[in-house]
Structure 1
Amino acid sequence: MSASLAGNANRFVLFSVFFSARAYYPVLAILFIDLGLTLDQFVMLNLLWALTIFLFEVPSGALADTIGRRRLLIAASVLMIIEMLCLLFAPRDAGILLLVFCIINRICSGLSEACASGADEALAYDSLPEHQRAQTWDHLLAKVMRWRSLGYVVAMILGGLLYDARAVNLLLPEVWHIETTTAQRLPVILVLLQAVVCLFITLRMVEPPHATAASPLAHAFRLTLSTARWVLTNPKTLVVIVVGVLLDSIVRNFATITSSYYRLIELPEWSYGFLGAASGVLGWFVPGIAKRLNARFSMLGNLALIALLTLMGLLALVPAWPVYGLIPALLLMATMGLLSFTVSRVLHQEADSARRATVLSVKGLIFNLGYGLFSVGFASLLAVLPDSPEGIALRNALLWQIPFFVLLAGGLLVWAFYQLKPRQLKSR
């Protein structure tokens, strides 16, 4: 392995941190609303974002396997720069013009996510020494998850503080004090700088050797169909995807409504960014635990354990204990890390180099589809439940999702056991 190719591992870690840990995350919803959008418009924009990822997830993965992962990562970085420029220069309270800027932002964001999804891991994995690739990948995956968690901690704290003009002005001389509208653009400026760093990192990446097709687009289409068929007929990948999408969708849906849950358990709003940072700190320790669990137990054993932890967290959410309700919320955030490690490990071990990015994109498409469907169902449940007194609708919705999860998770785990039993597959 050449020295330049060996450097891809560290470049992958840096790219993952700067691409994923974005300072506007703790204020994303109010950022758009303060620009002049309504809450309904913001929800529709997020649907557009999810639809963009859904449509381009697998084609981008196939293109990554066909024309090169490095090119897709460069494209992801350029699109990230464009999406941040749209937010930075979006005119405040400008009606249709503002909406156009925000639509372009969401489309570019979805395209950027689709381009990066799978291509970064595939490039890093194929850059590792072939004779010890599986073992080395476990170490690298744990490393990137830890540093991503640390980046998330910094981003959550900085984003929340930079958005508040009062907090920024406390650190500045009086003559340098800034207006609220200026402070609200500061997290965007920070993420724009992160995007520039991502572009610099991806330009320095080296493409690992892999076969190329004479007709890239036609090959990408055939590769997409054949990979989807392979994922759904290989017992091990089928199980980890089907069980994984259930676990991911219910936990990720809760992750999107955490601020509403924090209000329900009577936490002050200024604490939300710090709580996001606390999740990042917790995420620093999860990869090491996940690595040991995956080394000791089978794939199905790990999925069953994650399902049990998820159920415990969901049950403990329902009472909505003031302050102490934070404990099950953090437990659910930890299960996301355990699941991500397990799914990634299995898919990388099963997929060959020629279709690795496409496999990861198929996984991303299915996971995003499952998340979207569950979110629609959860939102519909909230809409029909009475919300008097305030917060009772959310508490009842959290309660009603438990029997759904128990029945589906129990059935899928039994199905997975018989699916894997004939081959006695062990993930070690």
Structure 2
Amino acid sequence: MCWVFVCTFLQAEEFKLKIKKQLWRAYTYSFLAYCGITQLWVIYLSQLGLSLVQVGLCESIFHVASFLCEVPSGVLADRFTYKRMLTLSRITALISAAMMLWQGGFWWFAISFVVSAWAYNLQSGTLEALVYESLKAEGQEADYPHATSVMNAMIEVSATGGLLLAGLLVHGHLAWSYILAVALAALAMFVVSQLKEPATHQPQTNHTTIKTIITTAWQVLQQDRGLFALMGFDAIFSALTTGFFYYFQQVMQVRHFPSWLITTALAGASITAIIAIRLAPRLLKHAKQRVLIGLAVMLCATFLLAALNTNTVLVGLYLLNYALSALLPPIFNVYYNDRIPSSQRATLLSVGSLLYSLAMIGLFPLLGWRIDHVGFAQTFSEAGITLSSLLIIGLALASLRRKD
């Protein structure tokens, strides 16, 4: 009897050790795969001679490719193992980073962004599924929330650390960020080879097709205009804050910000984002309309103040813009969960992703074109005037409807 107890205990300890190794390998992969070392790509492409219109088109091409590849990548996820999907993701990430090192002109870089979109799609959700199935196989699926929180922490640390390191490489050494990205992709492939494929692999029974997403978007527009307006607000707000974040890199380059100032601004942005995320639960206690109007006013003010056009003001607005962009996801996740039935969540969230992609495809090159002609400060102050006008008109119309 004692021998049976000892064997059972040793077997349990062996299972615990295996799952710990599996989880730490997954955490290591998260750190390597999500490093933000290449986030200063706007500066890099500008240094290589691309106009901001071309830079914006590269980002648009990324979103088009990502959207079109979303369904095929889901089909591949059902046919291939999790490990193979992660390996393919890192191979495409390595190829994309290597292509960025070759100065082949706009179309060459555009193809690199397409390959990068493949890497993003192949990886999306795969690691999380592998970790969940690994825990489930050992009867420890209750530990999944903790595991995902650790993975997200690893991703945040890696993304921020990589971005700060890239800030030190800005002046003539940004190519090293892509050399490091190639090395990180290779290391991530090695880590994947050490992962254990779960015994169970649950394929998706239904894939959300592009036709389904577009049809659902039309139905939502007709049946629930409030939800569609919420998604549209989220998409445009996110696209504008993303545009401000990336195109501010051009300001740092043109005005010859020293490396220490760039790194300080990037570090400050990360700190303000953390503060903003911690404020989100407090904002959710207020009425939704008040929160949305408040966010819109803050964004308008951020863009309008860009007209002052001093380095100090623009850096401050950069921090505020980054905080607003970080504040949006936790707030809108709650809003969506309140309005979307569980059975429709996946499809309707895909509609939200579609609207964001469309906003990025349209706004990103448009902002780049305008900045090329009149500069960063005037472009975003004009955007602030436009948004303020739309906000005032919208509030006036809403007030008239309430009176009726």
TM-score normalised by structure 1 residue count: 0.67
* Aligned residue runs from structure 1 range 176-187, under 5 A: 183=176, 185-187=178-180
User: CA–CA distance in 2 between the matches of 1:201 and 1:354?
Assistant: 36
Listed one character per residue, the Cα deviations across residues 372-405 of structure 1 (whole Å, up to 9, x for unaligned) are 32233333433544xxxxxxx3332232222111
User: CA–CA distance in 2 between the matches of 1:206 and 1:188?
Assistant: 32
Contact 2:70 2:121 in 1 (8 A): yes
189-198 vs 333-342, which deviates more? 189-198
- 1:339 equivalent to 2:328? Answer yes
Instruction: Find the counterpart in structure 2 of residue 407 from structure 1.
Output: 389
Structure 2 residue matching 1:285: 3-state secondary structure: helix
Q: CA deviation at 1:298?
A: 3.4
Q: CA deviation at 1:154?
A: 0.8
Contact 1:64 1:72 in 2 (8 A): no
Contact 1:8 1:205 in 2 (8 A): no
User: CA–CA distance in 1 between the matches of 2:75 and 2:99?
Assistant: 35
Task: Decide which of 263, 272, 276 is 1:282's aligned counterpart.
Answer: 272
Task: Decide which of 348, 369, 372 is 2:358's aligned counterpart.
Answer: 369
User: CA–CA distance in 1 between the matches of 2:117 and 2:243?
Assistant: 18
Instruction: Find the counterpart in structure 1 of residue 3 from structure 2.
Output: none
AA of the residue aligned to 2:388: V
Listed one character per residue, the Cα deviations across residues 59-118 of structure 1 (whole Å, up to 9, x for unaligned) are 62697499669979964762343232343377755x5xx877645422111233345567
Instruction: Find the counterpart in structure 2 of residue 310 from structure 1.
Output: 299
User: CA–CA distance in 1 between the matches of 2:134 and 2:342?
Assistant: 10
User: CA–CA distance in 1 between the matches of 2:214 and 2:368?
Assistant: 33
Instruction: Find the counterpart in structure 2 of residue 152 from structure 1.
Output: 159
Task: For structure 2, list consecutive stretches of 5 or more residues without a partner in the other structure.
Answer: 1-15, 137-143
TM-score normalised by structure 2 residue count: 0.71
Tell me: CA distance 1:371–1:90, structure 2 relative to 1, closer, same or farther (3 Å): closer
Structure 2 residue matching 1:257: 3-state secondary structure: helix
User: CA–CA distance in 2 between the matches of 1:151 and 1:142?
Assistant: 14
How many residues end up aligned between the 2 structures? 380
Instruction: Find the counterpart in structure 2 of residue 297 from structure 1.
Output: 286
- 1:398 equivalent to 2:380? Answer yes
Q: CA deviation at 1:333?
A: 0.6
Contact 1:231 1:237 in 2 (8 A): yes
Task: Decide which of 113, 116, 120 is 1:113's aligned counterpart.
Answer: 120
User: CA–CA distance in 1 between the matches of 2:354 and 2:80?
Assistant: 21
- 1:192 equivalent to 2:185? Answer yes
Q: CA deviation at 1:416?
A: 7.8
Instruction: Find the counterpart in structure 2 of residue 38 from structure 1.
Output: 49
User: CA–CA distance in 2 between the matches of 1:82 and 1:305?
Assistant: 41
Tell me: CA distance 1:82–1:310, structure 2 relative to 1, closer, same or farther (3 Å): same
Identity %: 15
Q: CA deviation at 1:158?
A: 2.4
User: CA–CA distance in 2 between the matches of 1:264 and 1:103?
Assistant: 23
AA of the residue aligned to 1:60: E
User: CA–CA distance in 2 between the matches of 1:182 and 1:377?
Assistant: 27
AA of the residue aligned to 2:189: V
Aligned Cα root-mean-square deviation (Å): 5.0
User: CA–CA distance in 1 between the matches of 2:348 and 2:83?
Assistant: 17
Q: CA deviation at 1:324?
A: 4.3
Q: CA deviation at 1:339?
A: 1.2
Listed one character per residue, the Cα deviations across residues 254-286 of structure 1 (whole Å, up to 9, x for unaligned) are 111112334677742453234223212322232
Listed one character per residue, the Cα deviations across residues 146-180 of structure 1 (whole Å, up to 9, x for unaligned) are 65443332111223446779xxxxxxxxxxxxxx7
Task: Decide which of 38, 50, 60 is 1:24's aligned counterpart.
Answer: 38
Instruction: Find the counterpart in structure 1 of residue 367 from structure 2.
Output: 378
Structure 2 residue matching 1:325: 3-state secondary structure: helix
* Aligned residue runs from structure 1 range 195-344, under 5 A: 195-196=188-189, 199=192, 212-213=205-206, 220=209, 223-232=212-221, 233-262=223-252, 267-294=257-284, 296-344=285-333
User: CA–CA distance in 2 between the matches of 1:203 and 1:313?
Assistant: 48
Task: Decide which of 48, 71, 79 is 2:89's aligned counterpart.
Answer: 79
AA of the residue aligned to 1:398: F
User: CA–CA distance in 2 between the matches of 1:113 and 1:68?
Assistant: 17
Q: CA deviation at 1:348?
A: 4.1
User: CA–CA distance in 2 between the matches of 1:58 and 1:351?
Assistant: 24
234-243 vs 55-64, which deviates more? 55-64
User: CA–CA distance in 2 between the matches of 1:126 and 1:301?
Assistant: 41
Task: For structure 1, list consecutive stretches of 5 or more residues without a partner in the other structure.
Answer: 130-135, 166-179, 386-392, 422-428
AA of the residue aligned to 1:87: A
Contact 1:75 1:115 in 2 (8 A): yes
Q: CA deviation at 1:331?
A: 0.6
